A and B are shown apart, each in its own frame.
Chain A
Amino acid sequence: MLTTALIFLPIAGALFVWIVPWPTARAAGGTALLVALSELVLWVNRALNFDFGSSGLQDETSHSWFSDLGVSYAVGLFDFSLWLVGLTVIVSTAAIAYGFWTGRERMGVYLGLILFLEGATVGVFTAQDLLLFYVFWEAMMIPLYVLIGVWGGPGRFGATIKFVIYTLAGSLLMLVAVIAFGLSAGTFDMAQLGENGSVWIFLGFAAAFAVKAPLWPFHGWLPDAYREAPPEVAALLSGVISKAATYGFLRIALPFFPGVVSDWRTPVLVLASIGLVYGSLLAFRAPDVRGVIAYSSLAQMNLIVIGLFAVNDSGLSGALLQMITHGLISAALFLLAGAVERRAATGNLGLLGGMARGRPALATVLITTGVIALAVPGSSAFAGEFLILNGIFTRGWGWAVVGAVAIVLAAMYMLRLISAVLHRDPGPSVPEAALDLRPAEMSVIVPLVAILLALSFWPAAITDHAFGGRPSGSVSSQFVGAP
């Protein structure tokens, strides 16, 4: 019941915000923010009462939806999906608050769409029926399309159509895979589905996840979408939505297709390694703030896939921790990018610079986030990347070497970003009068950074409270029904 509430509270809130004729934009926005905050409270309350001792499904609800093909509305929370739901809820709240402060046009519609997106994403992380998973997966697309298309930058037409065609082409192949998988098993309920050895079905799922993550070379939509989206939508897209793809690998590809996964490990790892290095290099060469974050996000997602395909305790724990960490980092970075762009009216690194002078809050927050992002030892990103590399090392030391190289590259592009924005002489586009981070902006971004710092001190908050303590065991037994 609580899981259902987590999914449908934001969706109902979205409908409410859309339908009621609000007297002012602030009233509509305030209501949306209130809904997002109550969702956050709901999640915190759930997390405090969660039984981390067992790795099984909690708060399950299951109703038959249409019975002759065995499709049901089945939702529930695993301990690791609780964390991903938490990431969704936190970042969505930040995005809504940021959109509220910046005063977007048609505020009610805008924030309602973000609420709808939040509900659909929570649905993806909690669905326990293949078709329901697919429904939420597709439902994420609709608000994103409108959010980027209406409120995006000047190149938004091309960006949206590319984004939609890439993601839908992938997910339609997943639909065929869902059908083939469900029909062959006679049910779509994940708790009853057994292992499957079909390469084609695996590839159907992998296509959708590879596009959404994105895995190299399926990232063609990424730079445009991340550049043209409003900063808070880009924060959601790279921070949360991309995690739906890695969640899909974790929840569906790994448990149901163990044989295929071990056969296809090498090709996937090759693609992910190329993506990791390629993304890092492009991030180092990107001419603008968003470009750096976008390509670094590509690199990080590929690193997470490497961790997942190690399919051992260390790799899986690291991948989960990195999913949360990277979600928070890239959300904070995109919001900061938005703050910089609001002041300088451009994200072009050549026109920026010297913003640290007289703007201590901006400098502190950006440097803190950047330093965590480059995985300085002691940070939560370091913990995640270390676990991933440790996990993949057992599958072959060569993969770990590639990963280690990429971490060096991460330091290069992050430091370049920080110095290009904050240091050197003031850039031509940076007005003297540009203000420091406003309290409103601080109130949105600082909590994200604070959570990152907390996780840096105590990464075990996640790694010890996920997969019931036995990641690879639970992937191979807990998620899969009796064959």
Chain B
Amino acid sequence: MTKFPTPAIDWAALSPELILLGGAALCLLVPLFLPDGWRRHFCAFVAAGCFIGAGAAAILLFHLDDVGVGVVADAIQRDRLAELAQIIVVGSGLLTVGVSYAYVLRERIGEYYTLLLTAAAGMCFFVAASNLMTMFLGLEWFSISLYILCAIAVEELVSLEAGLKYLIVGSFGSAILLFGSAFVYGATGKIGFEEIAAASGTADHLFLVVGLAMIIVGLAFKASAAPFHMWTPDVYQGAPTPVTAFMSAATKVAALVLTMRLLVTAFPSQDNLWTIALAVIVCISLAWGNLAALVQTDVKRMLAYSSISHAGFLLMPVAVGTSLGGRALMYYLIAYAAMSTGSFAVVAARERELARPVTFDGMAGLGWERPGLGAAMTLFMFGFIGLPPAGLFIGKFYAFSAAVDRGWAWLAIVGAVATAVSIYYYLGIVRAMYFQPAQVRVAPAGGSPPRDVALGTSVLLSVVVTIGSFVAAQPLLDIARDAVATLNFPH
């Protein structure tokens, strides 16, 4: 019997994923043996504990690793970039648990938290991918979890529709990514990112470029950058709001971090192509996302278009392909993830009060009825515009700086104009919350719901991160710098 050589496995590098998967197994199995009333609490606490544990593991690894090494036969990369991305992902996961705690799921509580944990685990795996195969595996891993999560409220048609739409369009994106990977493999004969870079000199140029283009398209699907965003508004609107909160933050983190890692590591000599391609995607995302958001009446749908426009802002520092850009991206993601989860959390709270989808009119009076949530939402909205005192202000400042530093001041001006457009709809929320008296008095279904402490805590944590990242910018920027220190940027 021949012994198949197995690679040495660095269990420590996989510890965040393993913790999350362990929690997923617990959430799937244990509730079967628990009485009805306990399941919700058990699953939420296990999930929160696992997110905290995975975060602690990632923080510890971040502390230990000052160089990047390929582990498990170079299939995944153990470096600070992956670890910081994992910290942000599990952080949004933790906030999502708070948002989900009071969410009524009937029999599917165990499945819900299981899928939330596996999706996060998939993202943690995905951001560390260092060859085309693990990249695709990670992508499908978290995508499949998200497809089901979107449809988890099966008794609601919109949720089912969202799940189905995401499944079809998302699979299309994955297929393009896989097809592109095949082209790249065909051209270079390699699947490792660094090996592709080394072999690209002798590769068939046409195949390689076509493959690169298709990979960018596939990743842009996941990052919901225009013109590959078609699924985003419908899915964000239809999916249960806690799921949207998680997706809007964590999926973006995963997709953008891996986009940067892939382009910088595997295609450094094609940078004249992908920097321009990404800059075009940035402009389209900024234009389309902002203009379409202007005419929305549903708050979740508006936030979906806002997330498309932020995909543009986030891709801007990736497009310039500099180390300053890398720092800008990682810092921006920290603030953005907190604000995005937090804003959807406020929408979720309002949705539970109204027991129907939240429109702009549905937000009327929220600021005075729930001062805490209203103040938090105001902070998030002003922050999304890029006004102090939100961390996104410094994020935008860095993103624009990266563009100007590269000599692309025009890109920064496009960003400034897009921001000016976005003022209208972000402030529309503030206007609804404070300026309009609740004219159409929407009677809360079954009286005012009890104070939701878990959700409030999530919103409070988001606020702390939002303001904290503004005040303590230096430590976070140091972390962002350490995270991208192992990448060799082409510029």
- B436 smallest CB distance to A (angstroms): 9
**Does B424 contact A161, Cβ atoms closer than 8 Å?**
yes
Q: State which of A162-170, A288-296, A464-472 sits at the interface with chain B.
A: A162-170
Out of A138, A146, A183, name the residue touching B405 (CB < 8 Å): A183
**Does B427 contact A179, Cβ atoms closer than 8 Å?**
no
Asked whether B157 is an interface residue with its Cβ less than 8 Å from the other chain, the reply is: no
Given contacts A131-B397, A142-B382, contact A169 B420 (CB under 8 A): yes
Inter-chain contacts of A200 with B (CB < 8 A): 409
**Does A66 contact B473, Cβ atoms closer than 8 Å?**
yes
Out of B409, B417, B423, B481, name the residue touching A164 (CB < 8 Å): B423
**Does B404 contact A179, Cβ atoms closer than 8 Å?**
yes
**Does B400 contact A179, Cβ atoms closer than 8 Å?**
yes
Asked whether B419 is an interface residue with its Cβ less than 8 Å from the other chain, the reply is: yes
User: How many angstroms from the CA of A159 to the CA of B187 in the assembled complex?
Assistant: 60
Q: State which of A149-157, A337-345, A364-372, A392-400 sits at the interface with chain B.
A: A149-157
Asked whether A443 is an interface residue with its Cβ less than 8 Å from the other chain, the reply is: no
Inter-chain contacts of B400 with A (CB < 8 A): 175-176, 179
Inter-chain contacts of B423 with A (CB < 8 A): 164-165, 168
Given contacts A65-B474, A68-B481, contact A138 B387 (CB under 8 A): yes
Inter-chain contacts of A25 with B (CB < 8 A): none
Asked whether A480 is an interface residue with its Cβ less than 8 Å from the other chain, the reply is: no
Asked whether A187 is an interface residue with its Cβ less than 8 Å from the other chain, the reply is: no
**Nearest CB to that of A63 among chain B residues?**
B474
- B77 smallest CB distance to A (angstroms): 25
Inter-chain contacts of A65 with B (CB < 8 A): 473-474
Q: State which of B61-69, B110-118, B388-396 sits at the interface with chain A.
A: B388-396
User: How many angstroms from the CA of A207 to the CA of B387 in the assembled complex?
Assistant: 18
In the complex, which residues 174-233 of chain B have their Cβ closer than 8 Å to any Cβ of chain A? none
Asked whether B435 is an interface residue with its Cβ less than 8 Å from the other chain, the reply is: yes
- B402 smallest CB distance to A (angstroms): 10
Given contacts A168-B420, A179-B397, A180-B404, contact A66 B477 (CB under 8 A): yes
**Does A146 contact B404, Cβ atoms closer than 8 Å?**
no
User: How many angstroms from the CA of A165 to the CA of B474 in the assembled complex?
Assistant: 31
Contact flags A406-447 to B (C-beta < 8 A → 1, else 0): 000000000000000000000000000000000000000000
Asked whether A172 is an interface residue with its Cβ less than 8 Å from the other chain, the reply is: yes
User: How many angstroms from the CA of A179 to the CA of B389 in the assembled complex?
Assistant: 18
**Does A69 contact B401, Cβ atoms closer than 8 Å?**
yes
Inter-chain contacts of A139 with B (CB < 8 A): 387-389
User: How many angstroms from the CA of A150 to the CA of B378 in the assembled complex?
Assistant: 14
**Does B420 contact A172, Cβ atoms closer than 8 Å?**
yes
Asked whether A16 is an interface residue with its Cβ less than 8 Å from the other chain, the reply is: no
Asked whether B430 is an interface residue with its Cβ less than 8 Å from the other chain, the reply is: yes
Asked whether B385 is an interface residue with its Cβ less than 8 Å from the other chain, the reply is: yes
- A22 smallest CB distance to B (angstroms): 13
User: How many angstroms from the CA of A145 to the CA of B405 in the assembled complex?
Assistant: 33
Asked whether B103 is an interface residue with its Cβ less than 8 Å from the other chain, the reply is: no
- B418 smallest CB distance to A (angstroms): 9
- A139 smallest CB distance to B (angstroms): 5
Inter-chain contacts of A175 with B (CB < 8 A): 397, 400, 416
**Does B397 contact A145, Cβ atoms closer than 8 Å?**
no
**Does B419 contact A156, Cβ atoms closer than 8 Å?**
no
Contact flags B413-453 to A (C-beta < 8 A → 1, else 0): 10011011001100100110011000000000000000000
**Does B435 contact A156, Cβ atoms closer than 8 Å?**
yes
In the complex, which residues 61-86 of chain A have their Cβ closer than 8 Å to any Cβ of chain B? 64-69
**Does B430 contact A135, Cβ atoms closer than 8 Å?**
no
User: How many angstroms from the CA of A222 to the CA of B148 in the assembled complex?
Assistant: 52
Given contacts A142-B382, A161-B427, A168-B420, contact A149 B434 (CB under 8 A): yes
Asked whether B412 is an interface residue with its Cβ less than 8 Å from the other chain, the reply is: yes
User: How many angstroms from the CA of A69 to the CA of B401 in the assembled complex?
Assistant: 9
Asked whether A37 is an interface residue with its Cβ less than 8 Å from the other chain, the reply is: no
**Does A164 contact B427, Cβ atoms closer than 8 Å?**
yes
Inter-chain contacts of A64 with B (CB < 8 A): 474
Inter-chain contacts of B378 with A (CB < 8 A): 146
Inter-chain contacts of A150 with B (CB < 8 A): 434-435
- A199 smallest CB distance to B (angstroms): 13
**Does A160 contact B389, Cβ atoms closer than 8 Å?**
no
**Does A141 contact B420, Cβ atoms closer than 8 Å?**
no
Inter-chain contacts of A453 with B (CB < 8 A): none
**Does A67 contact B474, Cβ atoms closer than 8 Å?**
yes
**Does B431 contact A176, Cβ atoms closer than 8 Å?**
no
User: How many angstroms from the CA of A141 to the CA of B435 in the assembled complex?
Assistant: 16
**Nearest CB to that of B475 among chain A residues?**
A66
**Does A135 contact B434, Cβ atoms closer than 8 Å?**
no
**Does B420 contact A165, Cβ atoms closer than 8 Å?**
yes
In the complex, which residues 24-81 of chain A have their Cβ closer than 8 Å to any Cβ of chain B? 64-69
- 22 A-B residue pairs with CB within 8 Å: A66-B473, A66-B477, A67-B474, A68-B481, A135-B393, A138-B387, A139-B387, A139-B388, A139-B389, A145-B427, A161-B427, A164-B427, A168-B420, A169-B420, A172-B416, A172-B419, A172-B420, A173-B413, A175-B397, A175-B416, A183-B404, A200-B409
**Pairs A-B, 3 closest by C-beta atoms:** A172-B416, A149-B435, A169-B420
